[in-house]
Each structure stands twice: as C-alpha cells, then as structure tokens.
Structure 1
Amino acid sequence: MAVIDTLGLPNTKGRRPLIVAQVVDALGTGLFLPFAVVYFHAAKGIPLTTVGLMLSAGALLSLPAGPLGGRLIDRIGPRGVLVASNLIRVLTFTAYVFTDTPWQLVVLVTATLWGDSLFRPAVFALVAQVAEDGQRARWYAMDRSLRNAGIGAGGLVGSTLVGWGGTSGYTAVVALNAVSFLLAAGLVATWRRTAVPRPVGAAPVPAGDAPEVRRGGYREVLADRAFLGVLATVWVFALCDLALTVLLSAYVIEARGLPAWQPGMLFAINTVMVVLAQTALAKAVERYRRPGVLQVAAVLWMVSFVLFALVPGEHVGLAFGGLVLGMVVFTVAELLQAPTSSALIVGMAAGHLRGRYLGLEELMWSLARVLAPTVFTWLLARGAGLPWLALCLCCLVAVVVLHRLHRVLPTHIQRETVDA
C-alpha cells in the first residue's frame, strides 16, 4: 500500500474489472483515433472536404447528448448509461465497415459522437460512486493516465495494421475498435460490487449503483451560480486542452515553417508525461484548495502559450527547444487541471443531480470542440500569435472566476480530505 500511495494511486480492491474495461476501451480508441479523418478518405474514397463537413455536422448534432445523458444518469444510474454508450459504438463502428455513402456515414458519426458524449459523464459519475472518501481526484488521475497509455499503445498497433494492410488494415482497425467497445461493455455490465474494507469512521459505500431517489432537474442545477462559474472555467480549459490537437501542428508547420516531425515529438512528450506523472501530481496537490490548483494551471497554460508564441521560425533547433519547454509547461497545467476540475464538479453536485452537473460539463467540452477548429484557424490566418493571445486572455478570465469561487465555496467542496 505504501508504494501505491506514493504513486498517488487509489484503492482499487473489488473494482479492478472497471479499470480493465477502461484500458480495453482506451486501446480500441487509440486504434482508430489517429485515422479518424484518413479512414473515411482512404478507405471510403470520400473527399477530405466532405469528411470535414461530415465530422462537423456530427459534432453539432451531438451537442444535446451531454445534457440528455446527464438526465439518464440521474434516472437509471451511471453504469447502465456507460454500457449503452459502449454498445452504441459497437453498432456504429461495425456499420462503418459496410457503408460508404456520405449521408449514412453522417448518421453513424453522429451516433458515435453521442456514444462518446454519454460515455464521459457516465464514467465520472460511476467513479464518484465507487471511489473511497478523499480518493476521487486519484481515480480521475489514474483513469486519465491509463487512457493515455491505452490510446498510445492502440495508436502504435493501429499504425502497424494500416502500414501492413493498407485498406484492409483500416478495416481491421475499425473492426477491432468495435470489439474493444463490446468487451468493455461486457466487463462493466457483469461487474458486481463487493464489500470493500473502509477506514474507521468513513461513510459506507452504497451496495448498488442506483441514483438517489429524489426529484430535481436542470433548473435546480442552473440556479447554482457557483457552478455556472465553474462551467465557464471548464469551457476555457477545454479550449486550452484542444490547442494541443487542433492548433499546435498547424502553428508549427504552417505558421512557423518548421519540420513536420516536431509536432509528433511534442505529442509524444505530452503522452509520456501524462502516463508517468498524472497520479503522483494529483496526490501532491490534493491537500490544496481546488480553485487555487486550477488558478495555477491557468497561469501555467498562459506561460506555455507565451513560449509557443515566441518560437522563432528561422532557427529549427532553437525553435524546437522552445516548443519542448512550452510543451512541458503545457502538460503540467493539463495534469493539474484535469482531475481537479472533475473532482470539484462532483464535489459540488448533490447525488441526485450528479449526472446533470456532469452532463453540462460535457456540453461545455462539446461546444469547445465545435468552435475550436474554426476559431483557431481563423485567428491563425490573421497572425501566428493571435490564437495564443486569445487563449491567454481566456485564462485570465478563468483566474478571476476561480478567485471568486475560492471565496464563496465551502471548504469541504474545495478540498477533499484523504483518509489515512
């Protein structure tokens, strides 16, 4: 246990099938994620511009999924929603193999994104149920570390299959992804909670995963003004996080004219840091107030954006050194923010409304995913430093909002005590 605690890992006794399910899901996602755009173009013969429109349409049509999923979580419990989200993606990825008609693929992409948007709040809600007192942030950190490791490993396997099999390799990647979702659904559906030893004085864990039987709705959630402030910071941090996948490669290659290998190296640095440091850093900051931790994350993101903006395009080696330094700072901010935000939102939510709180968090992320590509590319076309400046201003707003939350939120929400 001493080693587990040093690494910042939670107590997983009796809950290991859930962890295996997450790893299997992440491996399958990693198989397909690097080829999400290329698959429809290379294997289905659809023009890239049409693929972009398909994905954008799917993203817009899936915006209601988070709030509706939150309502379902509160009514039937997170495990049922989690299983359903995986089964939806089993069906859609299986269907990808048998169609190449754009309108049909738009329907399938939309359904897939609905499954994704149901999956994330359901996972966070289920973790909130099964985690021991004071260990939610550790669970969220472990989940994120495992998902990054699984996605990275899946990406390597997927690259091998595509390189070896061409179009058949793409089909194998999609089919294996469907199988991974089916396995994950089976593990979650058949898992049965067993009695877990609790620290002396700790509140018991409920025997089932059914939600509390109490009335409530989104009107009650939206009346929580402090939570509305948290949602604003979630949107800002989502934009910051998406800068890695949406903005950085275009900035490095197109705006600065640097070699195409550099973004791949930066992504690798990010992945390795998340896998190796996420849980330990989450443990290191768990004694601090969450709004303060998130303020530090926002400031570090601003520092990383300044470093990216100052990268010189004419000196490849110096530019890469600046990008690496910026990526290290960026990743530390990401490591601080991700589990802390999730734990803060779950801590603010009453049990019978937890799904709705998490559903609105997912909506903020979905809105950011819709807006980020258009806004970032529009700003980048008008000046290489403009996207980074805009992100810095957003982070400043988040710092101000978090300062107010630090003053108004009760201490037990701001900081979760870890039982010895």
Structure 2
Amino acid sequence: MTLIDALGLPHTRGRVPLVLAQLVDALGTGLFLPFAVVYFHAAKGIPLATVGVMLSVAALLSLPAGPLAGPLIDRFGPRRVVVASNLVRVLTFSGYVFTDVPWHLVVLVTVTLWGESQFRPAAAALVAQVADGGQRARWYAMDRALRNVGFGAGGLLGSALVGWGGSPGYTAVVVFNAVSFLVAAALVAAWSRSAAPVAFGPGPAPAEDGPGTGRAGYREVLADRAFRGVLVTVAVFGLCDLALTVLLSAYVIEARGLPAWQPGMLFALNTLLVVLGQTAVARAVEHRRRTRVLQTAALLWTVSFGLFAVVPGEHGALAFAVLALGMVVFTAAELLQAPTSSALTVAMAAERLRGRYLGLEELMWGVARVLAPALFTWLLAKGPGLPWLALGLCCLAAVGVLCRLDRVLPAHVRRETVGG
C-alpha cells in the first residue's frame, strides 16, 4: 500500500492545478469570511443591524442560484462554470473596495452569493468528472480537508492584516480575496484533461467537459422519488452543519454563561480533527454502502446534540469537557457525511442531469442557511436545550428517510459503496 492510499488521498497525477485551485480558493475565502460582518461595519461605517439585514436579504435573493446553475453545468460543463463563478467573485470583491452605499453592497453581496452557489455544485460535478473509478469520496474528502486548511491559514493571515493595518487592513483582506479567486480561475482554466492519465481501477471514464446531451429539465429530476428523499436528508444535514457556526457560540456564552474562550477552542478542535481525519475516514468507509454511512452520521449527530444539551452551566471545567466530547462526536458525524452525500447525489444522476441534481442539493443548503439563524435563535430564546432537541429529532427523522431509501433506490445505486 502506498502512502497516498494509507492517508486516504486520491490519485492526483495530471490534476495538480485543480488541487492548487481548491487550496487557493479556500485560502482567499478564509481571509474574508471571519471578517465579513466586521468589514462592512468597521471599514464601511454601516451599523451592525443594517449589515445583518443586508446579508440576510442577499442570502434570500441568492436562493435560486443553485438550481439555475444546474442547466449551465449540464450545457457548458462544470469546468467553465467553476471558472465563471470565480471571475464573478473577482468583480464583486473588487467592487466592495469602491463603494460604501448599502444598497450597492447588497447587490454586490447578492451577486457574490450567486457566484458561490454556482461554484459549489459545479465543483462537485467537476470532481465527479476527474476522479478515478472508486475515488470520488476521496476527492470530496480531500477538498474538505484542503478547505479547512485554507480557512485556517486565511483566518490567521486576515487577523494579521487587520491587526496590523486597521481599516486599510480590511481593504487588503478584500483585495487578496479577489486575487485568490482570479488565481483559482486561471488554474482551472489552464488545466487540460489530456494531462490526466487514464482512470485507475474500475468504473467509467470521466466524461468530456462540454455541452450536455439530450433535452431534460427539473421535471425529470423531481420525478425521481428517491432523490426527493435525499433532498430531505440534505436539508437536515445542512442544519446540523450550521449549528456549529450559527448556534454554538451563542449557546455556550449567552445561554450557559461559560467563558468566551471556549467556543474558539471548540472550533479549533473541529478544524484540527477535519484536517487530520477527513481523508482517512473517507478511505475507511469507501467500501460501505452510502445510506448506511449517512445513517451512522445522523445517529452520531443525535448523540452530539444530546451532549451539548446537557452541558452544566455552573461548572466551567466539566462543561468544557462535555462540550469537547460533544464536538468530537459532532466532527465524527461530519467526517462521515461530508464526502458521502455528494457522492450519493452524483451516483443517482444520469450524467446529462448531473448539474441539475447538484443544483437542487445546493438549493437545500441555501434553504438551511436562510432558516438556521432565525430558527436557532428563536428556539434558544425559548429554552437552552430546545435547539439541540429539535436537531436531534430531525436527525432521527433523517435516519427513517434513509432506511426507506434503501428500499426505493435503484439497484445499482443501492449496491454501490461510498467510493463509487
């Protein structure tokens, strides 16, 4: 067994520019993401409440982007959509520098989120094209690990720029992010399929990057009863994932009255576990059935939410120990779900409809991003444990849906394992 196989990494020969593009894109995003709200407030002088409204409106307006990306991916190929979505974000981040008018920024943020919502399904479809037979889950796992490395490094660099430069530092963060999208677009655009070797192992060879074949639309996709069940699980898993960024800090600091350093340590623990474990976990489960892996992930999330719900607010050390244990279980669920969900969607889709399937998956994530802030904060106001109870019940419902999927999935998809 080679070191690459032992680490659960995919074969990347001939595809290194795509890997570098993933890392550069994540580095730039990590530069800006932690400072998005503060940038519009501190550098543009917009009140925090207005910034919150701006971002919520932009997120709502960007919901159609994922489904609209589907036909573009199927018609023009995912590589072109990845390049175009990166170039769109080059323009919008450049635009942030030159205006401080709120409605201008709402337009720019909306277009930025459209670019992000079209990038994600296109990137997933591109992985499906370039991955060797049986290695899709490894590619999705590597992408997630690289993104965590990029987010972490970008966050540290962004903190240094902001701490050193003040308001000009915020501008430097935005400019560097725009440059990162330009570099990522150039790497993907310059990559040639002819540089990649013949696919390793069994499975169909990747399709050529070009116009989709046949005439089909979302009506055909939505007629897929099994996929409608998959979309339910995607929405649930989206809410579970967002609980980490939207809910946890408020719960720890405000609802439980624990020290403000604890959420940061928990986030660092999550990031470390993802970076070190994501590809290894993907390798460990690549011969398991996808629905079984997702059921396990949902059950682990249920356990983690139970641990978060019973955190004792009056004992700081004990509370942190329970939170850390909950975070380990939470991350284990993430490591199982992340490379598996997209692999299941890709496996269910005929190649001519792959973009549309992934576009609807992105829509479910968008719905979760719109619902999570209002839903979680409302439940938290009603009782500290209620958000975790609600999430646990959603996960148990997802387990039931996945059990039913085992009976209605097409035979070839049901038999396939996570590796694809």
Give the shorter-chain TM-score range: over 0.9
Whole-angstrom distance in 2 between the partners of 1:197 and 1:341: 26
Q: Is 1:262 matched with 2:262?
A: yes
**Pairs within 5 Å for 1:98-137:** 98-137=98-137
Letter of the structure 2 residue corresponding to residue 285 of structure 1: V
Aligned to 1:225: 225
The alpha-carbon deviation at position 39 of structure 1 amounts to: 0.5
Letter of the structure 2 residue corresponding to residue 7 of structure 1: L
The alpha-carbon deviation at position 262 of structure 1 amounts to: 0.3
Q: Is 1:93 matched with 2:87?
A: no
TM-score where L is the length of structure 2: 0.97
Letter of the structure 2 residue corresponding to residue 274 of structure 1: V
The alpha-carbon deviation at position 396 of structure 1 amounts to: 1.0
TM-score where L is the length of structure 1: 0.97
Q: Deviations over 1:238-264 (max 9, x none)?
A: 000000000000000000000000000
Q: Deviations over 1:175-210 (max 9, x none)?
A: 00000000001111111112513447653334x311
Aligned to 1:405: 405
Aligned to 1:298: 298
**Unpaired stretches in structure 1, ≥5 consecutive residues:** none
Whole-angstrom distance in 2 between the partners of 1:211 and 1:135: 24
CA contact (8 A) 2:76 2:212 kept: no
Aligned to 1:58: 58
Q: Deviations over 1:158-181 (max 9, x none)?
A: 000001111011000000000000
The alpha-carbon deviation at position 418 of structure 1 amounts to: 9.0
The alpha-carbon deviation at position 410 of structure 1 amounts to: 3.5
Structure-2 change in CA distance of 1:131 and 1:334 (3 Å):
same
- The runs of at least 4 consecutive aligned structure 1 residues that moved more than 2 Å come to 197-206, 414-419
The alpha-carbon deviation at position 417 of structure 1 amounts to: 5.8
Q: Is 1:155 matched with 2:155?
A: yes
The alpha-carbon deviation at position 71 of structure 1 amounts to: 1.2
Whole-angstrom distance in 1 between the partners of 2:255 and 2:79: 45
Letter of the structure 2 residue corresponding to residue 193 of structure 1: R
How many corresponding residue pairs? Answer: 418
CA contact (8 A) 1:8 1:279 kept: yes
Letter of the structure 2 residue corresponding to residue 106 of structure 1: V
Give the secondary-structure state (helix, strand or coil) at the position aligned to 1:112: helix
CA contact (8 A) 2:134 2:202 kept: no
Structure-2 change in CA distance of 1:417 and 1:247 (3 Å):
closer
Whole-angstrom distance in 2 between the partners of 1:412 and 1:209: 25
Aligned to 1:32: 32
CA contact (8 A) 1:133 1:418 kept: no
Letter of the structure 1 residue corresponding to residue 314 of structure 2: E
The alpha-carbon deviation at position 374 of structure 1 amounts to: 0.2
**Pairs within 5 Å for 1:374-389:** 374-389=374-389
Letter of the structure 2 residue corresponding to residue 287 of structure 1: H
Q: Deviations over 1:128-163 (max 9, x none)?
A: 011111111110000000011111100000000001
CA contact (8 A) 1:158 1:173 kept: yes
Structure-2 change in CA distance of 1:199 and 1:339 (3 Å):
closer
Give the secondary-structure state (helix, strand or coil) at the position aligned to 2:193: coil
Q: Deviations over 1:369-413 (max 9, x none)?
A: 001000000000010000001001100110000001122223532
Whole-angstrom distance in 2 between the partners of 1:239 and 1:68: 22
Q: Is 1:204 matched with 2:200?
A: no
Give the secondary-structure state (helix, strand or coil) at the position aligned to 1:166: helix
The alpha-carbon deviation at position 416 of structure 1 amounts to: 3.9
Letter of the structure 1 residue corresponding to residue 366 of structure 2: S
Whole-angstrom distance in 1 between the partners of 2:414 and 2:272: 29
Whole-angstrom distance in 2 between the partners of 1:164 and 1:69: 39
Whole-angstrom distance in 2 between the partners of 1:353 and 1:261: 46
The alpha-carbon deviation at position 2 of structure 1 amounts to: 1.1
Aligned to 1:322: 322
Structure-2 change in CA distance of 1:415 and 1:134 (3 Å):
farther
Q: Is 1:216 matched with 2:203?
A: no
CA contact (8 A) 1:286 1:415 kept: no
Give the secondary-structure state (helix, strand or coil) at the position aligned to 1:170: helix
Letter of the structure 1 residue corresponding to residue 8 of structure 2: G
Question: Aligned residues: percent identity?
Answer: 75
The root-mean-square deviation of aligned C-alpha atoms, in Å, is 1.3
Letter of the structure 1 residue corresponding to residue 299 of structure 2: V
Letter of the structure 2 residue corresponding to residue 197 of structure 1: V
Whole-angstrom distance in 1 between the partners of 2:15 and 2:50: 43
